């Protein structure tokens, strides 16, 4: 009987799989025995029906019963060996490339009756089968339905089946990990039986209990890992933070709007975490423009008031700078703040590092460099990570550990993903959601325009800036090359400048930091009206006065990305416009995307549609993110199973159930070795 360790071991531990075959499997992303088991058959072939030679159909896989009549073994290199067979209706040639004479004589002895199955060809007025898949004198071993798998050169169907069947025969009976109430929902089918069913041919029922069980297993393993991380984070007791509501009142007076109910609720949830003796590990979720920044800044102030430092991490320098400026504005001189990015000068950086260590800085705002550097905080009390959705569970956990004993963690995400995805991707965190945008916020009117009508777009833009508005102009994204992107933005800029003179600025990735800041500042101060840019300022930037965005080659962007881009406008109280430009010959998919954007401003709806169009894995690059990608489960298709798993996890946590039973399950799916890292 096989052990769990064997299942998790390298594929070349299987008998008959040498290094050469293992390499072929690796090409198919099958590295361990378990990978092999979880790789679904792609189809099945029915070899049950016997066909007479005169009724064979060319191109089909068929099975025949024949008598071996004659060999033809030419002594010339590269000519195949041939075996002539017949039944009472006609003759057929079995052609063997690369097979030895001795082997052929053994499987096809002269004058014997054999069963042969393979793809039927026709050559020089005669039927033939080239390298028959199956040859046997035992008819019943061939007259079956066979599963077929995705193959690669060198890995034949026969070989693959032999290997997988060999493994399936020896799958261990692992002790059931699920509670009996759960198991009932899947007709009490065991893990082992489910796997056997998974590979047995003709099991295409998408609702079969065995399949649901395996999908549920996969979801549960991810959720259990998340739950474990949450527990690990909370195990460490921290000092409670103490603060009053004076900062909040002060800030409320400074901003010219009322906090929304959702913002207030998020703040309450966060404050409760800060004041508790368990570490906060919380996700603040809200669509673009929903007002997360102010919540983060108020939280920062509360932490500073409790005599702790704050590290605030933004995804881009521009965004870091904007947060920094806003915070300066709100807090005045009462709080010491610094900005640290990859481009901070050496001398300045050195001073900041010293000041942070000496507690002379209360809030440090910056980019990634904030936590990669050897920064020693005096007493870090809160890490805020803004707009990151490409962080894996592992990285988040590391960050939390690095922060030290008293460090709370707040992650902000504008990726409006469906709940099943939140549960998966951020399941290790508690969540606060800002669902409703600030009142008075109007939907962004979205239009599409073919690029030959660019003159109409330009005159629309002119009308808008003549009435005091500002415009973003996003340039085509050309392939993956950043360099060409810059060129295209420069070209567009040159053309538009002829019309708009010095009212226009250009921003792209290869500009110097100072240059960038200058241009952004000019745009903010309304010295320029049009900002031509690449996608460098994709997310988060706040320009309340900008209310028009033109996106060229909109068809080249994904739905969610377009939604994020569009979110650059519509942040003030004015009516806002988004113009999606495209070239003729739009693909069906691109048309769909553009129509969805025209129809709705709801980020959640858009991301759901995006998932339907692209599959959940592609959504904003989750695949590259270290976030577990499922093999069987799909957050759109199997919502019910995700919800069931969530309920089950809650029960397990509530009853403080020992996880020992689940260990095999977790181990099997824990491909990133997350568990090893956290326990």
| DSSP percent split of the chain into helix, strand, coil, nearest 5 | 45, 20, 35
Nearest residue by C-beta to ligand ADP?
A: 291
Name which of 182 and 549 has its Cβ closer to ligand ADP.
Answer: 549
- Cα 349 versus chain centre, distance: 35
Q: Could you say which of ligand ADP, Mg ion, none residue 571 binds, taking C-beta under 5 to 8 angstroms by partner kind?
A: ligand ADP
Q: Could you say which of Mg ion, ligand ADP, none residue 338 binds, taking C-beta under 5 to 8 angstroms by partner kind?
A: none
Candidates 204, 164, 209; CA nearest to 190 is 209
Name which of 247 and 540 has its Cβ closer to Mg ion.
Answer: 540
CB of 215 to ligand ADP, least distance (A): 34
Name which of 260 and 560 has its Cβ closer to ligand ADP.
Answer: 260
Candidates 363, 366, 359; CA nearest to 382 is 363
Candidates 61, 30, 46; CA nearest to 164 is 30
CB of 597 to Mg ion, least distance (A): 20
Tell me how far apart the alpha carbons of residues 667 and 673 are, in angstroms, rounded to a whole number: 8
CA 632 vs CA 193, 209, 225, 677: distances in Å: 16, 14, 18, 25
CB of 540 to ligand ADP, least distance (A): 6
H or E element, residue 513: helix 513-524
Tell me how far apart the alpha carbons of residues 371 and 76 are, in angstroms, rounded to a whole number: 69
Name which of 321 and 571 has its Cβ closer to ligand ADP.
Answer: 571
Contact between 284 and 411 under an 8 Å Cβ cutoff? The reply is yes
CB of 286 to ligand ADP, least distance (A): 5
Tell me how far apart the alpha carbons of residues 68 and 91 are, in angstroms, rounded to a whole number: 10
CB of 564 to ligand ADP, least distance (A): 9
Per DSSP, the chain holds a count of helices (H) and strands (E) of 25, 21
Name which of 258 and 494 has its Cβ closer to ligand ADP.
Answer: 258
- Strand, coil or helix: what is 113? strand
Q: Could you say which of Mg ion, ligand ADP, none residue 534 binds, taking C-beta under 5 to 8 angstroms by partner kind?
A: none
CB of 234 to ligand ADP, least distance (A): 27
Q: Could you say which of ligand ADP, Mg ion, none residue 291 binds, taking C-beta under 5 to 8 angstroms by partner kind?
A: ligand ADP
Q: Could you say which of ligand ADP, Mg ion, none residue 302 binds, taking C-beta under 5 to 8 angstroms by partner kind?
A: none
CB of 563 to ligand ADP, least distance (A): 12
CB of 546 to ligand ADP, least distance (A): 11
CA 613 vs CA 55, 70, 268, 287, 610: distances in Å: 44, 57, 37, 20, 5
CB of 474 to ligand ADP, least distance (A): 17
Q: Could you say which of Mg ion, ligand ADP, none residue 286 binds, taking C-beta under 5 to 8 angstroms by partner kind?
A: ligand ADP
CB of 493 to ligand ADP, least distance (A): 26
Name which of 412 and 678 has its Cβ closer to ligand ADP.
Answer: 412
Name which of 431 and 661 has its Cβ closer to ligand ADP.
Answer: 431
Q: Could you say which of ligand ADP, Mg ion, none residue 260 binds, taking C-beta under 5 to 8 angstroms by partner kind?
A: ligand ADP
The Cα angle at residue 141 between residues 136 and 147, in degrees rounded to 5: 115
Contact between 243 and 305 under an 8 Å Cβ cutoff? The reply is yes
Dihedral of CA atoms 80, 83, 88, 89 in degrees, nearest 10, equals 0
The long-range contacts involving 119-125, CB below 8 angstroms and separated by at least 24 positions, are 119/59, 119/60, 119/61, 120/56, 120/57, 120/58, 120/59, 120/60, 120/61, 120/62, 121/58, 121/59, 122/58, 123/93
Look up residue 448 and give its two tokens. 């599409």
Name which of 292 and 492 has its Cβ closer to Mg ion.
Answer: 292
Q: Could you say which of ligand ADP, Mg ion, none residue 476 binds, taking C-beta under 5 to 8 angstroms by partner kind?
A: none
DSSP string, 545-597: TEEEEEETTGGGS-HHHHHHHHTTS--SSS-EEEEEEE-SS--HHHHHHHHHH
Interface size with Mg ion, residues (CB under 5 A): 1
Tell me how far apart the alpha carbons of residues 138 and 216 are, in angstroms, rounded to a whole number: 40
Name which of 56 and 337 has its Cβ closer to ligand ADP.
Answer: 337
- Strands 90-96 vs 504-507: parallel, antiparallel or unpaired: unpaired
Q: Could you say which of ligand ADP, Mg ion, none residue 62 binds, taking C-beta under 5 to 8 angstroms by partner kind?
A: none
In terms of Cβ atoms closer than 10 Å to its own Cβ (0-12, 13-18, 19+), residue 226 is buried
Q: Is 360 left (phi over 0), alpha (psi -120 to 50) or beta?
A: alpha
Q: Could you say which of ligand ADP, Mg ion, none residue 289 binds, taking C-beta under 5 to 8 angstroms by partner kind?
A: ligand ADP
Site membership for Mg ion, residue 567 (CB under 5 A): no
Nearest residue by C-beta to Mg ion?
A: 540
CB of 233 to Mg ion, least distance (A): 24
Name which of 476 and 540 has its Cβ closer to Mg ion.
Answer: 540
Q: Could you say which of ligand ADP, Mg ion, none residue 349 binds, taking C-beta under 5 to 8 angstroms by partner kind?
A: none
Q: Could you say which of Mg ion, ligand ADP, none residue 41 binds, taking C-beta under 5 to 8 angstroms by partner kind?
A: none
Name which of 476 and 570 has its Cβ closer to ligand ADP.
Answer: 570
CB of 492 to ligand ADP, least distance (A): 26
Name which of 441 and 492 has its Cβ closer to ligand ADP.
Answer: 441
CB of 32 to ligand ADP, least distance (A): 41
Q: Could you say which of ligand ADP, Mg ion, none residue 315 binds, taking C-beta under 5 to 8 angstroms by partner kind?
A: none
CB of 251 to ligand ADP, least distance (A): 12
Q: Could you say which of Mg ion, ligand ADP, none residue 392 binds, taking C-beta under 5 to 8 angstroms by partner kind?
A: none
Look up residue 507 and give its two tokens. 């921003």
Candidates 246, 604, 263; CA nearest to 422 is 604
Q: List interacting residues with ligand ADP (CB under 6 A).
A: 257-260, 263, 286, 288-294, 414, 438, 540, 542, 544, 571
Instruction: Build a one-symbol-per-residue string for 528-547: x at contacts with Mg ion by CB under 5 A, - elsewhere.
Output: ------------x-------
If one counts every other C-beta atom within 10 angstroms of the C-beta of residue 363, the result is 25
List the beta bridge partners of residue 434: 286
Residues lying near Mg ion in the complex (CB under 5 A) are found at 540
């Amino acid at each position: 009987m096989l052990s769990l360790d064997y299942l998790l071991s390298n594929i070349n531990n299987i008998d008959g799989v040498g290094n050469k075959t293992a390499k072929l499997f690796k090409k198919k992303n099958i590295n361990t025995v378990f990978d092999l088991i979880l790789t679904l058959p792609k189809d099945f072939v029915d070899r049950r029906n016997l066909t007479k030679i005169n009724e064979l159909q060319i191109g089909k896989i068929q099975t025949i019963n024949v008598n071996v009549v004659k060999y033809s073994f030419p002594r010339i290199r590269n000519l195949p060996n041939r075996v002539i067979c017949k039944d009472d209706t006609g003759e057929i040639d079995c052609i063997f490339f690369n097979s030895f004479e001795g082997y052929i004589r053994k499987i096809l002895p002269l004058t014997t009756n054999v069963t042969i199955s393979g793809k039927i060809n026709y050559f020089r007025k005669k039927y033939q089968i080239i390298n028959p898949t199956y040859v046997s004198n035992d008819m019943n071993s061939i007259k079956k339905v066979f599963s077929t798998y995705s193959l690669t050169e060198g890995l034949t169907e026969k070989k693959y089946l032999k290997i997988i069947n060999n493994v399936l025969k020896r799958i261990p009976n692992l002790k059931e990990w699920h509670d009996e109430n759960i198991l009932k929902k899947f007709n009490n089918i065991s893990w082992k039986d489910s796997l056997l069913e998974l590979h047995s041919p003709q099991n295409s029922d998408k609702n079969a209990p065995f399949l649901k069980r395996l999908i549920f297993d996969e979801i549960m393993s991810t959720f259990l890992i998340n739950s474990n991380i949450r527990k690990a984070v909370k195990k460490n007791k921290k000092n409670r933070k103490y603060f009053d509501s004076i900062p909040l009142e002060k800030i409320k007076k400074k901003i010219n709007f009322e906090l929304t109910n959702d913002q207030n609720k998020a703040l309450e949830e966060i404050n409760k975490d800060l004041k508790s003796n368990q570490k906060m590990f919380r996700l603040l979720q809200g669509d673009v423009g929903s007002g997360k920044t102010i919540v983060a800044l108020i939280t920062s102030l509360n932490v500073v008031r409790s005599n702790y430092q704050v590290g605030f991490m933004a995804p881009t320098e521009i965004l870091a700078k904007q947060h920094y400026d806003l915070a300066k504005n709100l807090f005045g001189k009462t709080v010491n703040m610094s900005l640290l990015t990859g481009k901070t000068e050496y001398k300045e950086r050195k001073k900041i590092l010293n000041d942070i260590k000496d507690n002379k800085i209360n809030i440090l705002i910056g980019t990634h460099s904030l936590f990669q550097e050897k920064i020693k905080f005096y007493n870090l009390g809160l890490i805020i990570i803004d707009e990151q959705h490409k962080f894996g569970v592992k990285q988040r956990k590391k960050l939390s550990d690095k922060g030290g004993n008293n460090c709370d963690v707040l992650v902000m995400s504008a990726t409006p993903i469906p709940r099943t995805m939140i549960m998966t991707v951020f399941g290790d965190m508690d969540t606060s959601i800002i669902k409703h945008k600030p009142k008075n916020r109007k939907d962004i009117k979205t239009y599409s325009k073919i690029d030959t009508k660019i003159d109409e777009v330009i005159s629309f833009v002119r009308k808008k800036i003549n009435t005091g508005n500002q415009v973003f102009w996003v340039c085509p994204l050309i392939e993956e090359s950043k360099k060409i992107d810059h060129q295209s933005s420069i070209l567009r800029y040159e053309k538009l400048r002829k019309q708009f003179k010095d009212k226009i600025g250009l921003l792209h990735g290869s500009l110097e930091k100072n240059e960038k800041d200058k241009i952004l500042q000019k745009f903010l101060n309304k010295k320029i009206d049009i900002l031509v840019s690449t996608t460098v300022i994709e997310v988060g930037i706040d320009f309340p006065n900008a209310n028009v965005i033109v996106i060229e080659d909109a068809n080249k962007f994904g739905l969610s990305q377009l939604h994020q881009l569009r979110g650059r406008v519509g942040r003030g109280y004015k009516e806002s416009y988004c113009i999606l430009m495209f070239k003729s010959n739009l693909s069906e998919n691109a048309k769909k995307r553009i129509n969805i954007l025209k129809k709705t401003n709801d980020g959640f709806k858009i991301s759901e549609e995006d998932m339907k169009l692209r599959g959940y894995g592609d959504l904003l690059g989750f695949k590259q993110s270290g976030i577990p990608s499922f093999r069987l489960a799909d957050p759109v298709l199997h919502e019910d199973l995700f919800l069931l798993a969530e309920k089950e996890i809650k029960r397990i946590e509530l009853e403080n159930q020992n996880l020992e039973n689940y260990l095999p399950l977790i181990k099997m799916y824990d491909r990133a070795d997350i568990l090893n890292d956290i326990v």
